[in-house]
Amino acid sequence: MVRRVLIISLVMLALATLVFIAVKSEARDIYVDNSYPYPTGDGSADYPYQTIQHAIDVAEDGDTIYVFPGTYNETLVINKKLTLQGLEKDNTTICKNDRHRYTIEISADYVTLEDFTIYDTGGGCRVALIYVTSDIVTIQGNTINGSANVWAIYLDSSNGDTIGSNTINGSKGIFAGYSSNIALTNNEISNCYEAALYLQNSDNDIVYGNNLTNSPFGIYAKSCSNINITNNTIESNTDGIDMHQGSENFIYKNTINNNANGIDINSQGAEIKNNTIAYNGIGIQLGGSTCKIYGNTITHSTSYGIYASVGSSDNTIYENHFSKNNINNAIDNGNNQWDSGAIGNYWDDYNDVDRNLDGIGDFPYHVPGGGIDRYPTGKFLQPPDKPTDPSPEDGASNVGLSPTLSVKVSDPDSDSLTVYFYKATDDTLIAERHGVPSGGTASCTFNLPFNTVMAWYVVVNDSKLEAKSDPWVFTTLPIPPTNSKPTADPGGPYTGKANVAIHFDGTNSNDPDGTITFYRWNFGDGSGEILDPTPTHIYTQNGTYTVTLTVIDNDGTSDTEVTTATIGGEQPNQAPKAMVGGPYSGKVNEAITFDGSASYDSDGNIESYVWNFGDGETASGATVMHSYSKADTYTVTLTVTDDDGLTDSSTTFVTITEEKKTPGFEAIIFILAITALVAISRRRM
């Protein structure tokens, strides 16, 4: 039995396949050309039909109708599964001069209408240029121009349609009523009299990549849910996007500029995310509830960035960037939340501080009308500038016993400051001055004994933030010294990398008759100074910095020494080393070889060798020869220069003696004669 059922099923499948192939094989291409002179055409390219409607009437499901350029003064009723394609969009025109409801009426599923110019002449059309009541219809690549009383495209209870890459100018716009799963993509729609896109009781539609301009509404959606509006440019309309009723709509990454209202939202549960909303009258007019508005940039509104009306409630607004909105960045006349519970919004008019530097303001931002952002970000108030111009100058000596301490103070965003003077050795408060103007000078006077090293600093406060100066040191008038001065030794030179800690060591500093009690480091990069014998410091930028160590001993005597810290980049060039050789010796007028070839450069090459022989003569080369005309001891100097221009010199000496005279010819004869006589005498013996 099972086998019989299987055989019957296979036979039925084969028959169905044959039927499908037969149907597919019957699909054909039909051509229309209204300039063809004979009414007896067969629809071929050579013998086309004269009217589009006649081609539709004779076509069958699955056929494609190609329309040659021309102006076709007719209305169309497409009641079959067909593809209609204009062969030259700009020159293939469909219009109808007489009064009619629809220029093109589509009632069959799976229809494609592509690459036509469709327009209304003299107000002949009364309802819509294209009217669709079926499903899975594609209308793309068309140019549509309509008068003020007709819709360019009207979708009536239609589902799954694609309206893409059309250019629409004038008309009421596109209307989709009781239609779902519609894709409206990459259309250019402008100068409409109703709305570029008008959606009513339509769900699950996608509005993507459209350019919607110069209309009463860019998008008007009423009683719609789950509409996805993404990557559209919506400019120069009365309302960019207007949503009434409906729920769970998504507005994402759109550019919404130069509208009277950027977005007017009166629905529930909408998500408005990552849009750029600029130069509108009101960026977002909020009247709905339970919406999430986050990640948007809302700037340059002529009135408000967001205006939340009385009826708005339970909307969550966070991570938006508000700046340069004319009246207020926002106003909340409803009951809404202006942060996520962890992060709020950026407000360019937030006028408070972030003391712990966590990027969130220490105090809430109050939205006019009653809203509160508990976690605001913005351009925070800045602390006072580090005090400058100390008097007495840092390192001054022979200061009188009643010195006046003074500093210059300033603050980027506060006019009145309080200044506190402290001893650096034990943080004792010396004096305080109130009401010092920004850019002004604060001062105090007190008494000190002779020969006192005074280390001091100031703290300037603007009531919310403060800045501390570097410690400064001066010495009062001396008495006859009995104390030996300490010796500062900062170590170094040091090298390192940016943003990596360097350890400095001043422990080799010493005091011959006591102990060092105070170390002060200045790292040369404008940072605060450190009172420690072995501090660490981090440089943030490459460069060579002068590092200064000042030490003070237990009797108050100080010493200062400097070294360098080279951060990043190439290390400093090392000088070459001259190796002059020697000492040398020789005789008058005798050529002596001088060898400096042992000279070297640890990080490069030696480019030149210059010899000075001490007798007014010079020579060049690693190895040279020279003779002296007089006996003496001469100082010889070799100077080498490396490939980076650094030099080194080394000296030795050469001793020159007189040349011994060779005996004359007579002396030689005499010696030979004596030698011969001695030899003869020995033989006789």
Is there a single domain that holds both residue 154 and residue 103? yes
Encoded tokens for 355: 């003391």
Is there a single domain that holds both residue 455 and residue 340? no
Range of the domain at 685: 573-685
Residues 6+ positions from 679 with CB-CB distance below 8 Å: none
Confidence class for position 425, pLDDT limits 50, 70, 90: very high
Alpha-carbon separation of residue 636 from 589, 593, 630, 649 (angstroms): 17, 12, 15, 10
pLDDT score for 402:
92
Three-state SS for 385?
coil
In a domain, 524, yes or no: yes
Residues paired with residue 276 on neighbouring β-strands, in sequence order: 255, 297
Is there a single domain that holds both residue 541 and residue 660? no
Is there a single domain that holds both residue 44 and residue 162? yes
- The predicted model gives 397-425 an average pLDDT of 92
Residue-wise pLDDT tens digits, 155-181: 999 999 999 999 999 999 999 999 999
Is there a single domain that holds both residue 103 and residue 237? no
**Bridge pairing between strands 632-642 and 647-657:** antiparallel
Q: Is the pLDDT of residue 664 over 70?
A: no
Residue-wise pLDDT tens digits, 311-361: 999 999 999 999 999 999 999 999 999 999 999 999 999 988 888 888 899
Percent of the chain with pLDDT over 70: 91
Nearest to 261 by CA among 229, 236, 228, 244: 236
In a domain, 1, yes or no: no
Is there a single domain that holds both residue 425 and residue 523? no
In a domain, 489, yes or no: no
Which among 380, 414, 439 is the end of a domain?
380
Is there a single domain that holds both residue 43 and residue 109? yes
What's 384's DSSP letter? P
Three-state SS for 683?
helix
How would you class 133 by CB atoms within 10 Å of its CB: exposed for 0-12, middle for 13-18, buried for 19 or more? middle
Residues 6+ positions from 10 with CB-CB distance below 8 Å: none
- The predicted model gives 464-486 an average pLDDT of 86
Angle of CA points 413, 416, 417, to nearest 5°: 95
- Identify the helix (H) or strand (E) that includes residue 624: strand 623-626
pLDDT score for 600:
74
Nearest to 363 by CA among 649, 353, 408: 353
Is there a single domain that holds both residue 362 and residue 216? yes
Nearest-angstrom CA–CA distance, 553 and 482:
13
In a domain, 540, yes or no: yes
Is there a single domain that holds both residue 146 and residue 262? no
What's 196's DSSP letter? S
Which among 142, 163, 194 is the end of a domain?
194
Alpha-carbon separation of residue 167 from 119, 152, 205, 212, 242 (angstroms): 12, 10, 20, 10, 22
Nearest-angstrom CA–CA distance, 678 and 632:
43
Residue-wise pLDDT tens digits, 76-111: 999 999 999 999 999 999 999 888 999 999 999 999
Q: What CATH number corresponds to the domain at position 82? A: 2.160.20.10
In a domain, 7, yes or no: no
In a domain, 10, yes or no: no
Is there a single domain that holds both residue 215 and residue 359? yes
Total structural domains within the chain: 5
For the chain, give the mean pLDDT. 89
The shares of helix, strand and coil residues in the chain, as percent rounded to the nearest 5, are 10, 45, 45
Which among 538, 567, 596 is the end of a domain?
567
Is there a single domain that holds both residue 599 and residue 561? no
Alpha helices, DSSP H, located in 567-664: none
In a domain, 17, yes or no: no
Residue-wise pLDDT tens digits, 266-295: 999 999 999 999 999 999 999 999 999 999
Q: Is the pLDDT of residue 652 over 80?
A: yes
- The predicted model gives 425-449 an average pLDDT of 93
pLDDT score for 469:
93
In a domain, 487, yes or no: no
**What is the pTM for the complete model shown?**
0.63
Is there a single domain that holds both residue 154 and residue 229? no
Q: What CATH number corresponds to the domain at position 536? A: 2.60.40.10
Q: Is the pLDDT of residue 536 over 50?
A: yes
Nearest-angstrom CA–CA distance, 583 and 149:
113
Confidence class for position 10, pLDDT limits 50, 70, 90: very low
